[in-house]
Structure 1
Amino acid sequence: MRDPFTPVRAVLAQGSTADGKVWKAWAALWPRADRAQAVRQAQLLWAERHAADPSLAAPTAEFVQQYWQPDDDVVNLYFTLDGVRLPNDSTGSAPAPSTPHAGAAGSPTGVLLGHVGKGDTVAPVDLAVLQVGSDVGKVVVTWQDGSTDEPQLTALADSPVHWVAVPRPAGRTAKQWQFYDRAGTLLSTDPAGLPG
């Protein structure tokens, strides 16, 4: 049962800082809310975010109703450092199950999480977080120096899309992203336009 007031969480990536602190990048998926539930959902999400960043203004009912998407789940991406949530985060959407565009590969979309510090708290790492269709079975990122990474794909409950999180090595930028299906066939290559 999908509950719009109870998010499903998953760790997308983790590592440690130079001084031995453990960082984790999380995705919290808030299942699609109908119009009558949208304001309460937004307030619950804001309460979580506000606890880490007291400068965030509470959402108004008018704002929530204006930007409510009837076919989308809400996804909040954030960091923890030694178990404490940091204010660096990003909130967006993902197609809910059984919507017309659910699970289609399309063009991967993403954000660069952590490249901007907030207040005195700086994110522990620059992290490219991508949303890909469920038909994607493998992602390969090639860096400018020729090295490659093959990050894991993470599912969030019954969401029809998968998530990929790639820490950006210091001083490197991504040269190319490649997306393969489960059989190993290349679906697409993106030499630019994605975070990283």
Structure 2
Amino acid sequence: MDTVLGPDERQRCAWVGDDAEYRRYHDEEWGTPLRGDRALFEKMALEGFQAGLSWITILRKRPRFREVFEGFEPAVVAAFGEAEIEKLMADAGIIRNRAKIEATIGNARLVLEMAEGELDALMWSFAPAASASRPASMADVPAVTVESTAMSKELRRRGFRFVGPTTMYALMQSAGMVDDHVAGCWRA
């Protein structure tokens, strides 16, 4: 089954299941074009924290992530030091992974080195041309693409971490750089 019928009688991509937060995310965010350095930095950080975990875990913790990472303002996060890292490591409201926390801080520092709008332009430069076709089934949705691999390679070349090709494809889907709502989904 590639779609699931929600309580509102709408067909949605099957990954939504019957979770209300997933429904909201699917309906309001996933696949909707997202622009801006701060917004994309947040998306990059959260996708990095998601690596190896389910996205619903991140969604449920996102309010706390936003709070402790000061709204993902790169200038604020870039200033975090060892005291902030230790405080984050003790916070059960987020994913307490030192490597991911340190990567988020390091990535914020790299964003600050870029001109305003440069991260947005860079990431969107890898968005493929809109396809005339839509995935017929979840089996047609890739985990990695040529574009996500190229984005990952360029970000890594610039020093960004936790930006692997699979993570970057998830970001591309989430930020609307690609539209993977399957045929039959009300968002398709």
**TM more than 0.5:** no
What TM-score, normalized by structure 2, do the two folds share?
0.27
What TM-score, normalized by structure 1, do the two folds share?
0.26
Higher strand share: 1
Q: Which has the higher contact order (CA 8 A, sep 6+)?
A: 2
